Chains A and B, each alone.
Chain A
Amino acid sequence: MTVSLAEAIPIGNGRPRRRQAATLLQRVLLRIGFALFVLWGAVTTVFLVLAILPGDRATILLNITSGQAIERTPEELAPINARYGFDQPIAAQYGRYVFGLLHGDLGTSYELQRPVLNIIREQIAPTFTLAIAALALAWVFAIPWTLLTAGRSQRLGSFGSAAETVMAGLPQYWIGILLLVVFAIELRWFPVIGGTALVDTVLPTVTLAIPLAGFIGQSIRSEFDRTMREPFVLSARARGMSAAGVRSRHVLRHALIPAITLSGWAIGHLLSGTVLVESVFARPGLGSVLVNAVSNKDFALVAGIVILNSFIYVVINLIVDLVYVVVDPRLRGSV
């Protein structure tokens, strides 16, 4: 979703208004069409891959419910296969699933015995709030730090940069465990096992936010440094604007663009980000549900989560594009 400067500057826009509206509508419809295509593609890929994965679902189900790990006889497997439709050809199962999708039915998780929609509905809030909070916190760390240390002396810049690099390189589960042990178990500042109350989300949020802050900071910083060398900065100073003013009003805005893309990416990948944190802090969330669902070849549940993720990805992309336009007026003509 990046655009070059060349693309961004509109070269003479003489179209009449009504036609502009029509093409806008066309573009929106096209976008929605692409989005649906992406969703469909993701679901189909999931089906294909899960179908190839080794492991027979009826066997897995029987084994999990009895704690054994053995091969099963066809007589044992037949009723399970019949009950869940595992014995039908993959194409038929796929067809049935897509048909259900078109009617708004996400299917049933055969392992958890519940409609997929219920499972997702329950688990999405903790994951989502954690991801958004972590992102917000990451920005709160990154912006002041960058403003403070970028574009000034070489020493300060490299110190700031080194701090960000360290933060970006910290494995999340490692920070999580250390924070848990130090602040919850030893110092007792925070609860060890939490629910969804505010105080329970502090440590998990900080854990996720630290590496994110590192990435975002680096991204802002490199753009910041680059932009500081642009001619318009010098001319703004020459016109009498203070150094701080130039930095915060002009340079920062330009520097934000890549970081916004990064944030969009971070939300789109919130599942991957949160799963380790959920495991360390014993929080419910879609990440661990996904790991289990893949282990059990629970097609419907994995597909449901993929659909959700793709949907969020598409929406986030749209939002990010809109934010670009707001942040960088140069882009207004081209979205």
Chain B
Amino acid sequence: MTIETTGEARPGLRPGGSSRLRTIIPTAPLSVVLSVLVAFFFIVAAIWPSLVSTHSPFATDLFNALSPPTPEHLLGTDDIGRDLYSRIIWGTRESLLIGLGAMAVALAGAIVLGFAAALAPRWIAEPINRILEILLAFPTLLLALLFVALLGPSATSLLISVGIGTAPGYARLIRAQALKVDRSAYVEAARALGHPARSVFLQHIAPNAFRPLVAVVALGIGQSVVWASGLSFLGLGVAPPSPEWGALLEAGKANITAAWWLEIFPGVAIVLVALAFTQIGRYIQDRSEGAAR
């Protein structure tokens, strides 16, 4: 997805780390505080699931199958008695990893391609632009399908396919931003003053090209999680018994008329993660822009 922003270039902003933090944190609105708490919870769940889960995610209990939420099973159980809450917690690691990993892959590709397409000499930039155009014309779904087909269903292939599928979109964003910043008055001045190209790039162009994209990236993490779970839903995802959220949603839909909790709660988890990361990202972007003003 693309969110075009037309923020103008700011002078290269590089305050010390702690003073930047101080400009961001103090007067955070309630929604951001909540988002940070939610994100923190999920990150803990990803790193140390046994701390917050109540059961093993794989332990079957055929005598308690399809039980609705009870004190013992906070969010209910599935067909073979596995605790849904624990499965969601243990699934966080995979889902978040896929989301973050996909974003990392996408950004890596997008940065290289986007900046090259904008700033490299013509004989490099033109072919890259053409390749970008071709990739953009490709259905994202197809890119994802091809990579899963190539690598087999697994968390890694989901990560790579979603990453590569979304990279061209980000590349185009970065290219547009880089072009804009490149032509701004400030950068021209820096060049006129004789600063070497590399430091112009690192100190002025790169940070300013990125700043409007922080919110995009944060939103993108949530979107990658959604996309990856969509592929799982189509049956192209991780191997069972992995409790990756998309797999949970796919398994839950067969029982939805009798066991609604199996389909509702994993979806809520996905939405919460997407929401939390987006709010945080947008807040950081607003504050850093505000601080730079």
| A/B touching: CB–CB < 8 A | yes
Residue A310 contacts which of B138, B145, B183, B278 (CB distance < 8 angstroms)?
Answer: B138
CB distance from B142 to the nearest CB of A (A): 6
Cβ-defined contact, B141 with A310, below 8 A: no
Cα A2 to Cα B209 with chains together (Å): 14
User: Closest residue to A50 on the B side, CB-wise?
Assistant: B146
**For residue B31, which residues in chain A have a CB less than 8 angstroms away from its CB?**
158, 162
**For residue B139, which residues in chain A have a CB less than 8 angstroms away from its CB?**
269, 271-272, 290, 305-306, 309
**Chain A 12-38 residues near chain B, CB threshold 8 A:** 34, 37-38
CB distance from A254 to the nearest CB of B (A): 9
Find the residue from B133, B138, B222, B226 having the highest chain A CB count within 10 A. B138
- B61 interface residue (CB < 8 Å to A): no
Cβ-defined contact, A258 with B150, below 8 A: no
- B130 interface residue (CB < 8 Å to A): yes
Q: A158-B31, A166-B271 are in contact. Are A261 and B2 (CB under 8 A)?
A: yes
Cβ-defined contact, A262 with B142, below 8 A: no
**For residue A302, which residues in chain B have a CB less than 8 angstroms away from its CB?**
142
Cα A261 to Cα B2 with chains together (Å): 8
- B211 interface residue (CB < 8 Å to A): no
User: Closest residue to B229 on the A side, CB-wise?
Assistant: A171
Cβ-defined contact, A171 with B146, below 8 A: no
User: Closest residue to B169 on the A side, CB-wise?
Assistant: A265
Binds A, one of B4-12, B44-52, B81-89, B193-201: B4-12
**Chain B 132-171 residues near chain A, CB threshold 8 A:** 133-134, 136-142, 144-146, 149-150, 169
User: Closest residue to A34 on the B side, CB-wise?
Assistant: B133
User: Closest residue to A169 on the B side, CB-wise?
Assistant: B274
**For residue B1, which residues in chain A have a CB less than 8 angstroms away from its CB?**
215, 262, 265
CB distance from A130 to the nearest CB of B (A): 15
**For residue B256, which residues in chain A have a CB less than 8 angstroms away from its CB?**
177, 181
Residue B234 contacts which of A49, A55, A276 (CB distance < 8 angstroms)?
Answer: A276
Cβ-defined contact, B6 with A38, below 8 A: no
**1/0 per residue A110-136: CB within 8 Å of B?**
000000000000000000000000000
**For residue A169, which residues in chain B have a CB less than 8 angstroms away from its CB?**
222-223, 226, 270-271, 274-275, 278
- B68 interface residue (CB < 8 Å to A): no
Total number of B residues with any Cβ neighbor in A under 8 Å: 54
**For residue A109, which residues in chain B have a CB less than 8 angstroms away from its CB?**
none
Find the residue from B179, B180, B215, B278 having the highest chain A CB count within 10 A. B278
CB distance from A295 to the nearest CB of B (A): 8
Cβ-defined contact, B137 with A38, below 8 A: yes
Cα A313 to Cα B138 with chains together (Å): 9
User: Closest residue to B184 on the A side, CB-wise?
Assistant: A6
Q: A38-B133, A168-B219, A272-B141 are in contact. Are A258 and B275 (CB under 8 A)?
A: no
Cα A204 to Cα B222 with chains together (Å): 22
Binds B, one of A66-74, A82-90, A217-225: A217-225
Residue B146 contacts which of A4, A5, A49 (CB distance < 8 angstroms)?
Answer: A49
**For residue B274, which residues in chain A have a CB less than 8 angstroms away from its CB?**
165, 168-169
**Chain A 22-67 residues near chain B, CB threshold 8 A:** 34, 37-39, 41-42, 45-46, 49-50, 52-55
CB distance from B134 to the nearest CB of A (A): 4
**For residue A258, which residues in chain B have a CB less than 8 angstroms away from its CB?**
2-6
- A213 interface residue (CB < 8 Å to B): no
User: Closest residue to B149 on the A side, CB-wise?
Assistant: A53
Cα A268 to Cα B172 with chains together (Å): 14
CB distance from A42 to the nearest CB of B (A): 5
Cβ-defined contact, A166 with B275, below 8 A: yes
CB distance from B92 to the nearest CB of A (A): 16
Cα A4 to Cα B208 with chains together (Å): 15
Cβ-defined contact, A310 with B176, below 8 A: no
Cβ-defined contact, B3 with A222, below 8 A: yes
- A99 interface residue (CB < 8 Å to B): no
CB distance from B117 to the nearest CB of A (A): 13
- B205 interface residue (CB < 8 Å to A): no
User: Closest residue to A164 on the B side, CB-wise?
Assistant: B278
Cβ-defined contact, B142 with A294, below 8 A: yes
- A314 interface residue (CB < 8 Å to B): yes
Show 22 residue pairs from A and B whose CB-CB distance is below 8 angstroms, ordered by the A residue: A41-B134, A49-B150, A53-B149, A162-B275, A165-B274, A165-B279, A165-B282, A172-B230, A181-B256, A185-B257, A219-B3, A223-B6, A258-B3, A258-B5, A261-B4, A265-B169, A275-B141, A276-B234, A290-B142, A306-B138, A313-B137, A314-B137
Chain B residues within 8 Å of A, Cβ to Cβ:
1-7, 29, 31, 130-131, 133-134, 136-142, 144-146, 149-150, 169, 176, 179-180, 183-184, 215, 219, 222-223, 226, 229-230, 233-234, 249, 253, 256-257, 263-264, 267, 270-271, 274-275, 278-279, 282
- Beyond A45-B134, A269-B140, 9 additional pairs, beta carbon < 8 A: A2-B4, A6-B180, A6-B184, A45-B138, A53-B150, A54-B150, A165-B274, A272-B141, A275-B234
